[in-house]
Amino acid sequence: MKKMNFILVLTFLFSFSLIQAQQEEDNSKFEIIAYGGIGYTKVKTHVQPRYDLNVNTGEILLNYKVWGKYGIATGIGFSELSGSGFNETGVFYSERNLLKIPLLFTLNQNISDKLFILGTLGAYGQTPTKDQLAYIDGGESDVYEGWNYGIQLGFGFGYNIDKKLGLGINLNGQSDLSELETSSGKSFNDKQKHNNLNSIGLFLKYKL
């Protein structure tokens, strides 16, 4: 009898711990959001002619659900920009990498048991980590320097694979509000910013 009671107590404790773990899992306020996409941007300058660049971009965010479906997220973003243009030095091919740190408000809204929408809105700061212009007879690197900031907006439509993992399609748009300046000693002097850096891609959402 004592042995049976002991087994019942162990079974109860084990069941209780499973229920507790499930509740903590369901009530988790943290999640990882990862996004990757392709697109384009318009480069707006003061002196030199404007030009367009192709974009490969990605972000990874840690989202904290503060008020139910509303949250705050931050993380890191990285974009590779490339394309052709010309300035007073000549025709060039541009390669630029941008490192971005965003601070975003988020919306996670279920529209059914499996389908949900994901929205983001906020600001970012970014800086070039690589900036090269290749001319016919040479080139120059680290052309623009410093940090600038802007605003971004994202909207996604996703599918919950299970209670933790969701996948979907996302549209992202961002525009710089401040400008980057040319480094000293370059073949020209100018200021520029990226207007309408738009991308489409896939996102993953994982509840921690």
Please determine, for residue 14, whether its predicted confidence score (pLDDT) is greater than 90. no
* Predicted confidence (pLDDT) per residue in 179-190, tens digit: 999 998 888 889
Residue 178: name the closest of 99, 125, 132, 137 by CA.
125
pLDDT at 26: 55
Please determine, for residue 6, whether its predicted confidence score (pLDDT) is greater than 90. no
* Predicted confidence (pLDDT) per residue in 151-169, tens digit: 999 999 999 999 899 999 9
The sign of the dihedral angle between the CA atoms of 49, 79, 171, 74 is negative
Please determine, for residue 63, whether its predicted confidence score (pLDDT) is greater than 60. yes
Percent composition of the chain: helix, strand, coil (DSSP 3-state, to 5): 10, 70, 20
> What token pair was written down for 93?
């091919």
Is residue 194 within 8 A of residue 151, CB to CB? The reply is no
For the chain, what are the domain ranges?
Answer: 29-207
The sign of the dihedral angle between the CA atoms of 139, 88, 49, 129 is positive
* Predicted confidence (pLDDT) per residue in 132-149, tens digit: 999 998 899 999 999 999
Residues 18-34 have a mean pLDDT of 66
- pTM flag (> 0.85): no
pLDDT at 83: 97
Please determine, for residue 39, whether its predicted confidence score (pLDDT) is greater than 90. yes
Q: What is the CATH number of domain 29-207?
A: 2.40.160.20
CA separation for the pair 200, 20 (Å, rounded): 40
> What token pair was written down for 137?
């007879």
Residues 57-75 have a mean pLDDT of 95
CA separation for the pair 88, 108 (Å, rounded): 48
